[in-house]
Structure 1
Amino acid sequence: DRHALDRIVRNMVINAVRYTPSEQRGTKGHVLVSCQRRGSSRVKISVWDNGIGIPEDRLNDIFKSYVQVDNPERNREKGFGLGLSIVQGLADLLGHELDVDSAPGRGSRFSVTVPFVGLIPPELHEVQTVENGDPDLTNMVVAIIEDDSDLRIEISMRLIEHGCYVVAGESSHDVIEQLRMEALASGPHFILSDYRLEHEDGVVAIAAVRAATDASIPAILWSGDTSSAVLKKVAVSGMKLLSKPVSEQTLLNILAKHKPKALTEGG
C-alpha cells in the first residue's frame, strides 16, 4: 500500500529530524534515508540519524502513543509522540517488519522491510489499492480530534490506507501544533472530531482549528451521546452529528464529497 508506506517513511523521517540537534559535541546533525536489497525478495528502507539516541531499556516503549524519550514532563512544544505509534500500527497492518537500533548520544536507525516490487506480476502493477468502489482520497489532508487514543490511531490508519494525510490529536491544541510543526503546503481539507473531549467539546475544538487555519474548512462531529442538549448545541453550530460507532464507509463517503477538485484533477 503506497500511501501507508509513504506515511511510515515520512513519520520516521519527521521523528529523526525532531530528535537530531543541528549540532552536538561539535558534530553537525544529519539524517540519511537509504534503501538496501535484502536477498532477491525484499527491500529494507532505513532512516539513520546521529541525534540524541534511545536508551536500551526504552526501546520497547517508543512505539506507544505519547511516549517520548526526551520529554518526561510531556511538554507539548516538543511534539506529541504519535508518529511512531502510527508507524508501528501501519507496519503491523501491512505485515512489514519494523526494527530499530539506537544508542544514547550516538543516534538511531529505524527500518521497515517490504517486498520487492519485481516479484509482483506485471499485470498487477497498475491495480489501484482502493477496492470495492471505495473513493480515492489521495493527498486529502484530514484533521482528527479524538481523545480515545486507540480509536484515533485506528481511524488514522484506515484513512491513510485510502490516501489521506492525517493529522490527529486529543485536542484542538494538539492538532493546531502538529499542523504548525509539519508545515503542510495545504489543508486541512476536512476536520473530524468527537463531541465529548476531555477539555473542550467538539464544536469548540473545530472552531479553534478553523480559527488557526481556515474558517471555511468543512467538518463533522461524532458522539455516543445523543441527548437533546447535545443535539441542540450541534444544530446551532450548523454541523452534522454522527452516532458512534461510525462506519468506515460512511466516513469515506463524506470525505469523498468534500475532496477539493484541485486534488482530484491533480490525480
Structure 2
Amino acid sequence: MDKFLPRLPFADWIDNGVDWLTETFGSVFDGIAVLLETIVEGSVDILALVPSILLAVIFALLAWLISTRKIAIFSLAGFLFIDYLGYWYPMIQMLALVLTSVIFAIVIGIPIGIWASQQATTRKIVLPILDLMQTMPAFVYLIPAIFFFNIGVVPGVVASVIFSMPPTIRMTILGIEQVPNDLIEATDAFGSTTWQRLSKVQIPLAKQTMMAGVNQSIMLSLSMVVIASMVGAPGLGAKVYQAVTQLKTGVGVETGVAIVIVAIILDRITQSAGTKNQGGNK
C-alpha cells in the first residue's frame, strides 16, 4: 500500500497540535488544574473531617430517603466494612474524584444533550463525536491529559469527565426525543416558548431517562478513576495499581471489593433517584 499512497504523518500532526495547544493555552490549562485540584482536595478535606461512623450513617440515611431500607442497610454495612479494612481515606479520595468528575460531566453534558435534542444540525455533529469518545480506548485519554495537566489528580479528573460524559448526553437526547408528539403539539398550541416547553414538559418527562445516563456516567467514572491511578490519581485505584505492580493478591482483592461496594451503593441510589419521582420506588 505504501508503494501507491505516501504515508501521511498523522502522529506528527497530533503531537504538533498538542504542543501548540500547550504553548498557546498554557495559562488556561493551569487555571483549570488549580480549580479541579482545589475542588478535589477541598472535598477530601471536608469528608475527612467527619468521623467515619458518622459519615457512614449519613450515607445510609441518604440511601434510605432516596432508595430503600435494604440499600440503606447495605450502605451502612458496606462503608463500615471498608473502614474496618483500613481503606477509608483512599475511599474518600476516590469518592471525591468520582463526584467531581460526574458533576462536571452533568454540568457540561446535559446542556449539550438539550441543545442537540432541539437542533438537528447540532445532533448530527454531536453523535459522531460521542461514538468516537465511547469507542476510544480509555488509556488514550490519559496521554493528552498528562501533557496538558502533568501527573496527579487533575489528569485523572479530566480523563474521567471526558470518558463518562457520553452517556449523559445520549440519554438526555433520547429522553427528550421520547416525549410524545401530542404533548409537544399541545404546548405549541398554547403558545409556549421553547424554554417553557423544555422546562415544563420535556425535561420533567425525560428525567428518568436522563438519570439513567447519570447512573452510567458514575459507573464509567469509577472505572476511569481506577485507570487514572497510573498517572498519579489517588484513592482505591492507586491501591489496586500498587497491588498489581507488587503482586499483592490479598490487597488487590480487598481494594477491589471496596470499589465494588462503592459502585453498588452509588448505582442503586442513582437508579432509585431516577425512578422515585416516576412512582417506581416504594
Q: As a proportion of its length, which structure holds more strand?
A: 1
Larger radius of gyration: 2
TM range (shorter): under 0.3
Give the TM-score, by structure 2 length.
0.26
Give the TM-score, by structure 1 length.
0.27
Structure showing greater relative contact order (alpha-carbon pairs closer than 8 Å, 6 or more residues apart): 2
